[in-house]
C-alpha cells in the first residue's frame, strides 16, 4: 500500500489544521450579530403592530412618527392590544398580567426625530406611507445618521425594494420585511432580498423574524412578492367575473368560502384591505407591465374609489358595513 512519506504527512496534517482554523475563523466572522435594538418608523396600523411584537419578544424598540399626538395614539393602541393579550395569557393571575404589560411597555420608547432615533440601532423597519419619493427621502437621511452595521428594511406592499434602497449607500444591508395585518396575529413575514442584499443581511433579517416568533419565507424583489402576487390578481379577477355578469358578489364570496375553503370571499377581503389600497397596487403594477392582463385596472373598482366607497374603513365598499362587529370573525 502506498504511504505518504512522513515529512509530507506532517505538512499535510498542518495544512489541514490551518485550513480548518481559517474556515472556522472566517465563518464565525461572517456570522451576523443578533438584532437587539430596532427602530420602527411609522406608528400606524403596521408600525404599531411591528413595535408591539418586537417589544414582546424582548427587543428594545424606538417608535418614530411625525407628531407626539400620533405617537400617543399609537402607544395607547399598543397598550390596549397588550392588555387583551395579557388577559388571555394570564387569565387568573392579574399580577402576572400587570408585570407582563409593564415589562413589554418598558421596551418601547418614542421619538419624532428619525435621525436621532437610529443613532444606535441594529435595524430600521420602515412602515410609513406607501409613496416611493417619501420613503426614499426618509432612507436617504437615515443613511447618513445610522451606524455602519445598521440594516434597513421596508415593509412596503407594492414598491420595489431596489428602488427604495437606491436612495442609500448601503445596498448590501437593505431588504424587505413584509409583515401582514394584523401583525400580532399573522405568522408570516416575507423576507425580501434584492440582487444586492448580502447573505449576512438576509440571514440577519430572517433570524430576526424567527426571534419575533414569526415564520419567514424568502422572496425575490418582484411585484407583490409571493402572497400579494397571487392574491391581488385573484381579487381583481373576482371583480372582472362580477363585471361580466358571471355571478353576484355574494355568490362569488360564498363559492370561494364553501368551495375552496377560504375564510373570506374576495369581495369581503377587498373591503377589509381597502379598495383604495387595492386600486393603488394594481395601478402601480399596470404602469410597470401594461401588457399583463392580470394587472389590468377595473372600471368597477375605479368607480367605487372615486365615490369614496373604500370598504370597511368608510362604512361602504362592495358591501355596506354598519359596524366593525359585522365583519367576519377572522378579520378582527
Ligand X SMILES: NC(=O)c1ccc[n+]([C@@H]2O[C@H](COP(=O)([O-])OP(=O)(O)OC[C@H]3O[C@@H](n4cnc5c(N)ncnc54)[C@H](O)[C@@H]3O)[C@@H](O)[C@H]2O)c1
Answer for which of 47, 176, 184, 216 binds ligand X (CB under 6 A) is 47
Answer for which of 54, 82, 124, 138 binds ligand X (CB under 6 A) is 138
Answer for which of 51, 64, 201, 282 binds ligand X (CB under 6 A) is 64
What's CA 10's distance to the chain center, in Å?
54
Candidates 158, 178, 198, 316; catalytic one: 178
- Of 77-85, 129-137, 260-268, 293-301, which part binds ligand X (CB under 6 A)? 129-137
Q: Give the shortest CB-157-to-ligand X separation in angstroms.
A: 4
Q: Is 190 in the site for ligand X (CB under 6 A)?
A: no
Q: Give the shortest CB-194-to-ligand X separation in angstroms.
A: 17
163 marked as part of a ligand binding site:
no
| 228 a catalytic residue | yes
131 marked as part of a ligand binding site:
no
81 marked as part of a ligand binding site:
yes
The grid coordinates of residue 63 equal 417608535
| 190 a catalytic residue | yes
Candidates 126, 190, 268, 316; catalytic one: 190
Please identify every residue annotated as catalytic.
157, 178, 190, 228
Q: Which residues are annotated as a binding site for NAD(+)?
A: 42-47, 65, 130, 135, 157, 181, 313
Amino acid at each position: 500500500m502506498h504511504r505518504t512519506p512522513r515529512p509530507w504527512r506532517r505538512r499535510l496534517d498542518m495544512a489541514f489544521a490551518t485550513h480548518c482554523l481559517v474556515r472556522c475563523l472566517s465563518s464565525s466572522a461572517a456570522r451576523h450579530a443578533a438584532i437587539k435594538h430596532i427602530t420602527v418608523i411609522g406608528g400606524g396600523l403596521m408600525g404599531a403592530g411591528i413595535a408591539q411584537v418586537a417589544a414582546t419578544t424582548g427587543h428594545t424598540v424606538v417608535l418614530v412618527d411625525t407628531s407626539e399626538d400620533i405617537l400617543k395614539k399609537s402607544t395607547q393602541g399598543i397598550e390596549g392590544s397588550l392588555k387583551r393579550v395579557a388577559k388571555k395569557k394570564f387569565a387568573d393571575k392579574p399580577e402576572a398580567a400587570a408585570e407582563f404589560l409593564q415589562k413589554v411597555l418598558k421596551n418601547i420608547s418614542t421619538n419624532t426625530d428619525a435621525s436621532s432615533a437610529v443613532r444606535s440601532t441594529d435595524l430600521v423597519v420602515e412602515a410609513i406611507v406607501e409613496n416611493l419619493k417619501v420613503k426614499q427621502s426618509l432612507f436617504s437621511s437615515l443613511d447618513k445618521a445610522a451606524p455602519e452595521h445598521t440594516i434597513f428594511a421596508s415593509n412596503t406592499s407594492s414598491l420595489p425594494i431596489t428602488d427604495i434602497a437606491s436612495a442609500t449607500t448601503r445596498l448590501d444591508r437593505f431588504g424587505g420585511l413584509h409583515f401582514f395585518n394584523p401583525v400580532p396575529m399573522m405568522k408570516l413575514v416575507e423576507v425580501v432580498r434584492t440582487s444586492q442584499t448580502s447573505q449576512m443581511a438576509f440571514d440577519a433579517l430572517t433570524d430576526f423574524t424567527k426571534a419575533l416568533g414569526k415564520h419567514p419565507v424568502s422572496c425575490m424583489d418582484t411585484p407583490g412578492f409571493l402572497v400579494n402576487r397571487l392574491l391581488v390578481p385573484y381579487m381583481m379577477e373576482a371583480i372582472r367575473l362580477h363585471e361580466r355578469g358571471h355571478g353576484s358578489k355574494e355568490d362569488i364570496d360564498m363559492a370561494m368560502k364553501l368551495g375552496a375553503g377560504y375564510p373570506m370571499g374576495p369581495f369581503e377581503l377587498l373591503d377589509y384591505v381597502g379598495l383604495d389600497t387595492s386600486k393603488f397596487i394594481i395601478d402601480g403594477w399596470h404602469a410597470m407591465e401594461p401588457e399583463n392582463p392580470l394587472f389590468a385596472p377595473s372600471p368597477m373598482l375605479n368607480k367605487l374609489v372615486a365615490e369614496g366607497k373604500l370598504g370597511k374603513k368608510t362604512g361602504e365598499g362592495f358591501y355596506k358595513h354598519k359596524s366593525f362587529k359585522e365583519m367576519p370573525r377572522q378579520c378582527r
